[in-house]
Amino acid sequence: MRFQRFNRQARSLAILIAAASAYLFSGCSQAESQSDDQAQRTPQPASQSPGAPDAAAAIPAIRLVPAFPKLTFNRPVFITHAGDDNGRLFVVEQPGRILIVENRDNADKTEVFLDIRDRVHARHNEEGLLSLVFHPEFKSNGQFFIYYSVANPKRNRIARYTVAKDDPNRADPDSEQIVLEVEQPYGNHNGSTLLFGPDGYLYASFGDGGYANDPHNNGQNLGTLLSTIIRIDINKTDEGRNYAIPDDNPFVNREGARPEIWAYGLRNVWRMSFDRKTGDLWAGDVGQNRWEEIDLITRGGNYGWNLREGFHAFSSGTSDVPLIDPIVEYGRRDGLSVTGGYVYRGERYERLQGVYLYADYVSGKIWGLRYEDGEVKAHREMPMQERRHITSFGEDAAGELYVCTFDRLDGTRGRIFKIVTN
Ligand SMILES: [Ca+2]
């Protein structure tokens, strides 16, 4: 009987992997198979198993409620606000549009804020317009930043835009200034998230360049921006750059290292966020063969790829510096591609205060955890009525949380939900 059960599990896993390799943000591929006996023997820290005994008391169950029941979107991959208190939300559609929607349940129309579908290369499932962040001084300077894929050669571009002078609901498509580009050898693993830190610097995540197993060893190479999170000052410029390097970046004096790097050894950070209260930087790093992970990003930290995957060895190489383990991980039984989320700091749901929420894009599972004093104090999987493919979490100006979803893995019927508690 055990054998039958194994077969059933193996079959359902194979179906999931087949679906994922076609549609996933992770670039998890059937061609990848790594014998990993060592990983199987490695015990998992107790703190990471979902559903600790008192977790339900410490973390309330959440529900997803349609945020805009009358609206659907074309592959929505991000939602955010402009920090200007006027109730607008901005939805990023992967093919290359940003739409404005008024933050109310009965919103029945969107307005096109920016349409750059003709500039965006979105042939691979993981390519496209992937991220948006508004300048902390957007109200006065009208600036925002986007991250998108470009072809010939394949690269990821961070660009600055400004809002049109005569219309606050329209970006000026001719205002583009390229901040930074990173060449991408393959279509998968493009990152990405753009964020402003509490320090006012721009942070961005880059994947390892793609394919499988990190064939060019970008993960442990400080000479490339692939596999990193960078930190740059976009309010100043250094000679030869469209931005400046903050003096206290960790590798500014390291020969051969890119001074933009804030942290490295990351395979493909698909969504990261700053905790509004503590300033902690949380990231979901998509795994390859077995383990999805949530990391707390620290200055100069090496997160292990491609020597480590989650809490486990991945390859036989070694490192001269400590490799930082994740806060939690999950395996293939629970999902195939992590979507990093947010620590809830809104005001509407008091019991949710301080809970970090994250999800899996393929399985649609959502988890919450509380992390205090360097420990996971509580961790649970949320009960879900329906499976939705969660491409991203997002916040409104008040800190209430939303998710962007596809009804199906092929991107059909993109919808936005808000997160509420029971
Ligand atoms: Ca790692």
Task: Please tell me the distance between residue 143's alpha carbon and the centre of ligand 1 in angstroms.
Answer: 33
CATH architecture assignment, domain 75-353: 6 Propeller (2.120)
The residue written with tokens 């250094």 in the block is 238
Task: Name the helix (H) or strand (E) containing 18.
Answer: helix 2-23
Task: Please tell me the distance between residue 301's alpha carbon and the centre of ligand 1 in angstroms.
Answer: 10
Handedness of CA 219, 220, 222, 223 (dihedral sign): negative
What residues contact 152, with CB distance under 8 A and at least 6 apart? none
Task: Tell me: pLDDT of 30 over 60.
Answer: no
Task: Please tell me the distance between residue 338's alpha carbon and the centre of ligand 1 in angstroms.
Answer: 13
The whole-number pLDDT of residue 47 equals: 46
The pLDDT tens digits for 272-302 are: 999 999 999 999 999 998 999 999 999 999 9
Task: Please tell me the distance between residue 213's alpha carbon and the centre of ligand 1 in angstroms.
Answer: 13
Average pLDDT, the chain: 88
DSSP letter, residue 104: S
360, 286 Cβ separation under 8 angstroms: no
Task: Please tell me the distance between residue 305's alpha carbon and the centre of ligand 1 in angstroms.
Answer: 5
Task: Tell me: pLDDT of 113 over 60.
Answer: yes
DSSP letter, residue 73: B
Task: Tell me: pLDDT of 43 over 50.
Answer: no
Could you give the dihedral angle defined by the CA atoms of residues 31, 284, 301 and 144, in that order, rounded to the nearest 10 degrees? 110
CA distance 141 to 100: 19
Q: Are strands 292-297 and 356-360 parallel, antiparallel or unpaired?
A: unpaired
The whole-number pLDDT of residue 385 equals: 84
Task: Please tell me the distance between residue 191's alpha carbon and the centre of ligand 1 in angstroms.
Answer: 14
The pLDDT tens digits for 341-359 are: 999 999 999 999 999 999 9
* Other Cβ atoms closer than 10 A to 341: 28
346, 398 Cβ separation under 8 angstroms: yes
Task: Please tell me the distance between residue 304's alpha carbon and the centre of ligand 1 in angstroms.
Answer: 5
What residues contact 378, with CB distance under 8 A and at least 6 apart? 52, 54, 55, 57, 58, 59, 369, 370
3-state secondary structure of 370: strand
The pLDDT tens digits for 294-304 are: 999 999 999 99
Average pLDDT over residues 237-253: 97
The whole-number pLDDT of residue 50 equals: 54
DSSP letter, residue 257: S
Task: Please tell me the distance between residue 86's alpha carbon and the centre of ligand 1 in angstroms.
Answer: 39
Task: Please tell me the distance between residue 91's alpha carbon and the centre of ligand 1 in angstroms.
Answer: 29
Task: Please tell me the distance between residue 346's alpha carbon and the centre of ligand 1 in angstroms.
Answer: 29
Residue 182, both tokens: 């990173």
- Edge-first strand order for the sheet with 292-297 is 269-274, 281-285, 292-297, 328-330
Average pLDDT over residues 39-43: 36
Task: Please tell me the distance between residue 195's alpha carbon and the centre of ligand 1 in angstroms.
Answer: 20
Residue 374: exposed, middle, or buried by beta-carbon count in 10 A (0-12, 13-18, 19+)? exposed
Task: Please tell me the distance between residue 312's alpha carbon and the centre of ligand 1 in angstroms.
Answer: 9
Domain extent listing, the chain: 75-353
Task: Please tell me the distance between residue 270's alpha carbon and the centre of ligand 1 in angstroms.
Answer: 13
What residues contact 368, with CB distance under 8 A and at least 6 apart? 59, 62, 352, 355, 356, 357, 379, 380, 382
Task: Name the helix (H) or strand (E) containing 5.
Answer: helix 2-23
Task: Please tell me the distance between residue 310's alpha carbon and the centre of ligand 1 in angstroms.
Answer: 5
Task: Please tell me the distance between residue 326's alpha carbon and the centre of ligand 1 in angstroms.
Answer: 6
3-state secondary structure of 13: helix
89, 98 Cβ separation under 8 angstroms: no
3-state secondary structure of 221: coil
Task: Please tell me the distance between residue 246's alpha carbon and the centre of ligand 1 in angstroms.
Answer: 25
The whole-number pLDDT of residue 25 equals: 56
Task: Please tell me the distance between residue 102's alpha carbon and the centre of ligand 1 in angstroms.
Answer: 38
Task: Please tell me the distance between residue 206's alpha carbon and the centre of ligand 1 in angstroms.
Answer: 14
113, 98 Cβ separation under 8 angstroms: yes
